[in-house]
Amino acid sequence: MRTIHCGFERTSEQDPKYPIRLLVDIAIKALSPAINDPTTAVQAIDQIEDLLRRLGGHDLDAGYARDANGVLRLIFLMPVWKDLVLAFDEIRHYGADSVQVMRRLRSALVGVTDSVTADTRIGAVQRYLKQLDLTVDRSDLAADDQETARQEDRQGLGLPRRQGNSSRSEMSARGICVDFGMSTARQLRGCRLNPVVRDWKRTPAHPSSHPSDSLTIH
């Protein structure tokens, strides 16, 4: 029993899918009709893409533990690449009618495809891109909006590509952080997402908020 450690909750060290799950939950809550905040969903996609790019170059099937003599002692389940790509599934479903979300999702998938080298992993992402096309086709968006939604947009601004050449001063005036393609932290209703996932924190919107509202992904 000394080799088994019990805890009260999942951790990112024990479950690589856990931080992705947290980010997906943030995104789909932001896309709910009660909140309707696609920009926060786009920021969550930023972080999920970063995680998938990092994981894409690693061996995900390392579910074997051996002792000092090299004897296999434990086999444990690990997520496969297909499982990780499906992190976008719920966001795709709940964000189907958001041009901004569809464009950022496409950009994230294209970016992940460019960052991996294994044919099987590239194929999994490309198949998911086809699913994204079907989602746009079945959405309630008008024809012009569907055409726009099929164009990738790394900044997730929800604007057609031809309108993406605004000057830096114009974009700053609209409160947009040009470097990261997201609203400034002051506009995030109590959220702060930094470019590196391990620095992501959700801070209370008001000083009186309960301490449990604070969450950090290491």
Residue 208 lies in a domain: yes
Q: Which residues pair with residue 75 across a beta bridge?
A: 64
Residue 8 lies in a domain: no
Residue 9 lies in a domain: no
Residue 11 lies in a domain: no
For the ranges 7-21, 125-139, 167-181, the lowest mean pLDDT is seen at 167-181
Whether the predicted model's global pTM rises above the 0.85 cut: no
Sheet of strand 201-202, all strands in order from the earlier edge strand to the far edge:
191-192, 201-202, 215-216
Number of domains in the chain: 1
d(CA 40, CA 183): 8
Residues 124/81, Cβ–Cβ less than 8 Å:
yes
Q: Model confidence over 71-116: pLDDT tens digits? A: 988 887 777 787 788 889 999 999 999 999 999 999 999 999 988 8
Residue 21 lies in a domain: yes
The pLDDT value recorded for residue 149 is 93
Q: Tokens standing for 149? A: 């939604």
Residue 3 lies in a domain: no
Mean pLDDT in the chain?
A: 74
Give me the residue label for tokens 């079907």.
134
